[in-house]
Chains A and B, each alone.
Chain A
Amino acid sequence: MTDLDSTPGDAVYLDHAASTPMLPEAVAAMTRQLPRTGNPSSLHASGRAARRVVEESREAIARALGCRPGEVVLTSGGTESDNLAVKGLFWSRRGADPRRTRVLSTSVEHHAVLDPLHWLAEHEGAEVELLPVDDTGRLDVRALRASVERDPGSVALVSVMWANNEVGTVQPVDEVVEVAREHGIPVHSDAVQAVGQLPVDFAASGVDAMTVTAHKIGGPYGVGALVVRRELDVTPLLHGGGQERDIRSGTIDTPAIAGFAEALRVTVEHRDEQATRLAALRDDLVERVRERVPDVLVNGAAEHRLPGNAHLTFPGCEGDSLLMLLDARGIACSTGSACSAGVPQPSHVLLAMGADAERARGSLRFSLGHTSSTADVDAVVDAIVPVVERARAAGLAGQTRKAG
């Protein structure tokens, strides 16, 4: 433990889209619960006390997300919620009508959606259509409409993320809902990145199921929710005690949920001011990097974009060289989504946006959050020229030897 405690950590943390530091309020709410005993499903006084904490937390989560408490199914986080939504809705919808075998989604979803979709295609006979996006990463709704209208009765569900985790592009969720609703098709949306940065109102959105996770909004790891309409049937992934509406079994993690609810409350309360602040910092970062590295390319959308996201390509560089050189200077960022074995693969998101593999490999994501400051931006701006020069030299070193 002493080793870990003495680790200096990153002086400049710009990877909030991967995980953002816990808010002090959330730490306090969680640690208040840690020493207390009581399974929220138990019937005695301790159990009832724990249940009260869970239900008050659930109500706070519902208030923050614009849904009813009964619509909040607590899970272990984003990946579980996405799996539950995609597989659970596919199974229940096809169970009700065997013709419903199609699942429509986008080519830029998170792997927590894409991989369950591929699994359904391989093992359950699902026909998965990943609809194209434009060069900013935004879904072409006309393609969605055409696909739905080709045979509406065969569509089990539509899953479109609220905002992209890599390039920050915000999807036209309202238009997706409009298309699906005409044919009574349920819509799932992964809102892991959107919550806390954009106004997310479940009821107003018309979405039927929505994924949220705590550790992206200043809450603890390992807890999240699938917000899902009461009338929607979802086949469970985890069978057991039936704790969460019989959709999700497993003893409920009272302290984590208390921390999740408090983080969500604080984050949503400060969302607008934070979004304005982060967008200004982000624009400053992009502008000042561009002044120093004029051939830098900005990926993603100008308008429909998460305020904390800057996604840049440095031509001639390998993203992992850039990351390593910045890391050595205490600056934390990302080359895309984290991946098994840490092997960097060209991002499927950038490839879907029409970028070639070289552009995809030469990119970096800086994601800002509640602890970000002008000093962080200054640090990146100060480091970027030598870092890009070195990474370029390393990229060229690889090319010349290969050519020879």
Chain B
Amino acid sequence: MRVVAAMSGGVDSAVAAARAVDAGHDVTGIHLALSRNPKSYRTGARGCCTIEDANDARRAADVIGIPFYVWDLSDRFHDDVVEDFMAEYSAGRTPNPCLRCNERIKFAAVLDRALALGFDAVATGHYARLETAADGTVEMHRAVDHGKDQSYVLGVLTQEQLAHSLFPLGGSSKPDVRAEAERRGLSVARKPDSHDICFISDGDTAGWLREKLGAGSGDLVDHATGEVLGRHEGAFGFTIGQRRGLRIGRPTDDGRPRYVLDIEPVSGTVTVGPREELTVDRIEGRAARWCGLPPTGRLEGTVQLRAHGAEHRAVVSASPDDVRIELLEPAEGIAPGQAAVVYDGSRVVGSCTITSATRARTA
């Protein structure tokens, strides 16, 4: 096959590209320029948007012995990922931009362009496994290395996208990949893992949102009494389930800690209360994306509600777009906007964007 290897400049995508070559594919390395104003050097271990990262990717391509180009997707990335991220936060939701990037950029804009240019597939360094079922459909499964498994952020991929994807690292552990990079003479072998949100270079998401969206200051309110307990400088500094940094002068009557239960985006009101109020077992979602056919009837499986989060046993029922999830193992601190990814064993069934998370008041 003719394969585009998306190369971020990190160790995973470099080894993925090398393995695609070993598998006999005709591989071309592509670095995606996603930032409109790339910085020259990395600060810390974040992101993959600097000129230094592009150079690391180019050096890896040299060593692997494949052609290498930079594709400028900064406008698409800004429109589809960064704007979406801001709009979701403005609406009081908590989005995951990595899922959005996979859905709209890596396995859409890049894949579409690659197919049009005569390539057959896109290979990335994500940790997930693809298997072809007996009926020919491509199934996505969790990676062998559960600690590195990235199937959650790939849960938005459709059958069409999966059929043109390669994840050469799904069967390996991270230490093995680093050791292999070392063996192959790739200088990125010891490069730190990237983490956090790539377009927020200093990692201060709350500060970035304040700068883009304004302060959003408001009241801190008790969930039961409605009493105003204090003021805060910006709602973007809070996430549902947060306990630390509330800066409320008075302790609760019973001395138990308070948690953020709800964030109202327009007024900036942040509601706080006891931990048990965070517990949810009913989740509704929209914008469902199925890796194969949508599940029919009730699916007993598991769901994952955040990247590297726990699995919860659940019963899932779906219409094509809307999803209802009954958690058999309750979850805490679930915010609208997060993605729920549905699994059947190790297999990814699909995903939806959470619109509401509630507690069944049966107890």
Contact B38 A341 (CB under 8 A): yes
Kindly identify, within residues 354 to 404 of chain A, every residue whose CB is under 8 Å from any CB belonging to chain B. 390-391, 393-394, 396-398, 401-402
Question: Is B116 touching A401 in the complex (CB atoms < 8 A)?
Answer: no
When the two chains form their complex, are residues B72 and A393 in contact, meaning their CB atoms are under 8 A apart? no
Contact A327 B67 (CB under 8 A): yes
Q: Known contacts being A341-B51, A343-B38, is A397 close to B70, with CB within 8 Å?
A: no
Binding stretch for chain A, among B106-114, B285-293, B312-320: B106-114
In the complex the two chains form, is B33's CB within 8 Å of A394's CB? no
A307 to B71, CA, bound (A): 31
Residues of A within 8 A of B76 (CB): 398, 402
A321 to B113, CA, bound (A): 9
How far does the Cβ of B30 sit from chain A's closest Cβ, in whole Å? 9
Question: Nearest chain A CB to B126's CB is how many angstroms away?
Answer: 21
Give the number of A-B contacts (CB < 8 Å). Answer: 62
Set of chain A residues within 8 Å of B115, measured between Cβ atoms: 397
Report yes or no: A324 in contact with B117, Cβ–Cβ below 8 A.
yes
- CB pair B72–A398 under 8 Å, yes or no, is no
What is the bound-complex CA distance between A320 and B55, given in angstroms? 18
Taking CB atoms, residues of chain B closer than 8 Å to A327 are 67
Given contacts A341-B51, A343-B38, A401-B109, contact A321 B117 (CB under 8 A): yes
Q: Is the CB of A394 within 8 A of B69?
A: no
Residue from B31, B38, B51, B67 in contact with A328 in the complex, judged by beta carbons closer than 8 Å:
B67
When distances are taken between beta carbons in the complex, the residues of chain B under 8 Å from A341 are: 33, 38, 51, 54-55, 70
| Contacts A343-B38, A398-B109 given; does A324 touch B69 at CB 8 Å | yes
B70: A residues at CB distance < 8 A = 320, 341-344
Q: In the bound complex, do residue B65 and residue A3 qualify as a contact, i.e. CB atoms below 8 Å apart? A: yes
Knowing A340-B51, A341-B54, A343-B38 are in contact, say whether A320-B118 is a contact too (CB < 8 A).
no
Q: Closest A-chain residue to B71, C-beta based?
A: A320
How does the 8 Å CB contact mask read for A315-348 relative to B, with 1 for contact and 0 for none?
Answer: 0000011011101100000000000111111000
On whether the beta carbons of B72 and A320 are closer than 8 Å, the reply is yes
- Closest-by-CB residue of B relative to A342 is B70
Contacts of A324 in B (CB 8 A): 28, 67, 69, 117
Q: Which residue of B lies closest to A328 (CB)?
A: B67
Q: Are the C-beta atoms of B118 and A398 separated by less than 8 Å?
A: no
Taking a contact as CB atoms under 8 Å apart, the answer to whether B72 and A343 are in contact is yes
Q: List the A side residues contacting B33 at CB < 8 Å.
A: 341, 343
Q: Is the CB of B116 within 8 A of A397?
A: yes
**Tally of B interface residues using CB under 8 Å:** 25
CB pair A390–B116 under 8 Å, yes or no, is: yes
Could you tell me the distance between the alpha carbons of A324 and B31 in the complex, rounded to whole angstroms?
13
Bound-state Cα–Cα, A320 to B68, Å: 12
Residues of B within 8 A of A402 (CB): 76, 79
Rounded to whole angstroms, the CA-CA distance of A401 and B75 in the bound complex is 13
Q: Given that A320-B71, A341-B38, A402-B76 are contacting pairs, would A325 and B117 also be in contact in the complex, using a CB cutoff of 8 Å?
A: yes
Contact partners of A321 in chain B: CB under 8 A:
113, 117
> In whole Å, how far is B105's beta carbon from the nearest beta carbon of chain A?
10
Q: Are A344 and B112 in contact (CB under 8 A)?
A: no
Residues of A within 8 A of B31 (CB): 342
Taking the nearest CB of chain B, how far is it from the CB of A357, in angstroms? 10
How far, in Å, is A389 (CB) from chain B's closest CB?
10
Identity of the chain B residue whose Cβ is nearest the Cβ of A4 in the assembled complex: B62
Q: Knowing A324-B69, A344-B72, say if A394 contacts B54 (CB, 8 Å).
A: no
CB distance from B342 to the nearest CB of A (A): 25
Bound CA–CA A393/B118 (angstroms): 10
Q: A333 to nearest B CB, angstroms?
A: 14
CB distance from B153 to the nearest CB of A (A): 20
A401 touches B51 (CB 8 A): no
Most buried by A among B58, B109, B113: B113
CA distance A401 to B181 in the complex (A): 36
Determine how close the nearest CB of chain B comes to the CB of A4; give it in whole angstroms.
10
Interface of chain B residues 211 through 234 with chain A (CB within 8 A): none
**Nearest CB of A to B132, in Å:** 26
Q: B109 — which chain A residues lie within 8 A by C-beta?
A: 398, 401
Partner of A397 from B54, B69, B112 at Cβ < 8 Å: B112
How many angstroms between the C-alpha atoms of A325 and B119 in the bound complex? 11
In the complex, the chain A residue whose C-beta lies closest to that of B69 is A324
Partner of B69, one of A3, A340, A342, A401: A342
Q: Which of A323, A342, A390, A401 contacts B118 (CB 8 A)?
A: A390
Contact B72 A394 (CB under 8 A): no
Question: Could you mark each residue 11-30 of chain B with 1 if its beta carbon is under 8 Å from any beta carbon of chain A, else 0?
Answer: 00000000000000000100
A402 to B109, CA, bound (A): 8
Which residues of A lie under 8 Å from residue B118 when comparing CB positions? 325, 390
Is there contact, CB below 8 Å, between A320 and B116? no
Q: What's the least CB distance linking B51 to chain A, in Å?
A: 4
Contacts of B71 in A (CB 8 A): 320
Contacting residues, chain B, for A340 (C-beta < 8 A) = 51
70-85 of chain B: CB within 8 A of chain A = 70-72, 74, 76, 79
Contact in complex: B116, A394 (CB < 8 Å): yes
Q: Quick check: A390 and B51 within 8 Å, CB to CB?
A: no
Contact string, B102-140, partner A, CB cutoff 8 A, digits 1/0? 000000110011011110000000000000000000000
**Residues of B contacting A344 with CB < 8 Å?**
70, 72
Shortest distance in angstroms between B100's beta carbon and chain A's nearest beta carbon?
Answer: 14
Interfacial chain B residues near A3, Cβ < 8 Å:
65
Question: Closest CB of chain A to B175's CB: distance in Å?
Answer: 28
In the assembled complex, 15 residue pairs joining A and B whose CB atoms fall closer than 8 Å, in A order, are: A324-B69, A341-B51, A341-B55, A341-B70, A342-B31, A342-B58, A342-B69, A342-B70, A344-B70, A344-B72, A393-B116, A393-B117, A397-B113, A398-B112, A398-B113
Q: Known A-B contacts: A320-B69, A344-B70. Give 4 more (CB < 8 A).
A: A3-B65, A340-B51, A342-B70, A343-B70
A residues with CB within 8 A of B: 3, 320-321, 323-325, 327-328, 340-345, 390-391, 393-394, 396-398, 401-402
- Chain B residues with CB under 8 Å of chain A are 28, 31, 33, 38, 51, 54-55, 58, 65, 67, 69-72, 74, 76, 79, 108-109, 112-113, 115-118
Nearest 9 pairs between A and B by C-beta? Answer: A394-B116, A342-B70, A397-B112, A393-B116, A341-B51, A397-B116, A341-B54, A343-B33, A394-B113
